[in-house]
Structure 1
């Protein structure tokens, strides 16, 4: 497994381009959802990726507490279409959660997930904290993980 963690300033121009292209290819093009992909949070975030043969196959960003929410959050969770069905999404979530719990010593993690993925996020310990709502034309739900109630 080739998992890497980057702070924004540690990303090379080529790596940043590859990550942004994957995010746009899936979130904007595949999901047919024009939205502001570049939202100003990348510079504050820690970026976690899995690569094989130099290609990013799984990626997420984790945002520190106080930037988007009061607690750290996980977002832009993505698995390359060619790598789906291999369990990378679960491994990616575990990588993100372990980083937040160990490096930032947070007892809570929040995310804004697409409703069709709610069961997946529940399977890694997140619970809904909102009703479903529309975000850029796609149903979403806010979810929270509390380490006191769960174990990775």
Structure 2
């Protein structure tokens, strides 16, 4: 487990087996709250990939408010990757998306010795990811009926 504090956000990076039951419950609840309920998208969030991922948890006052999962090259894409990027709706004004993404890129560098990262970004967030150094590659596509685009950062 790796632990850092950033902008009042305490960020922990853990393997699946290091997650407590409460942390697992909280991250699944946050993902469901945003990706299923808020975005009104019925999809299978429990996809069998959490066990391979490193989980980057951003907590504020001991409550999970931001999260990603990261993969080493070959576990999701050919490149290392970041996915399930989520910030609780009532915390977005604090720009924790940048903090959790930067911590996720750092986790990839630290744990996998990699700097190239590929993501599958929701198109409406393209500017956000561009601000983090990602570049769109290829055409837009639908993933769970939501427009996405592949993006890469070297």
TM-score range, shorter chain: over 0.9
Report the counterpart of residue 119 of structure 1 in structure 2: 127
Identify which of 21, 35, 50 aligns with 1:13: 21
Q: Measure the CA separation in 2 of the matches of 1:102 and 1:18.
A: 25
Instruction: Give the SS at the match of 1:139.
Output: strand
Q: Contact 1:41–1:63 (CA<8 Å) still a contact in 2? A: no
Deviation of residue 129 (structure 1)? 1.1
1:94-134 deviations in Å (ceiling 9; x for gaps): 10111112321113100001000001101111111121111
List aligned pairs for 1:48-59, cutoff 5 A: 48-59=56-67
Matches for 1:62-81 after TM superposition, within 5 Å: 62-81=70-89
CA distance in 2, matches of 1:141, 1:6: 28
Number of aligned residues: 146
Which segment is superposed worse, 69-78 or 96-105? 96-105
Please give the secondary structure, in 1, of the residue aligned with 2:100: helix
More strand by percentage: 2
SS of the residue 1:38 aligns to: coil
Alignment RMSD, CA only? 0.9
CA deviation string 1:46-75 (max 9, x = no partner): 001111222101100001111111111000
Structure 2: which 5+ residue stretches go unaligned? none
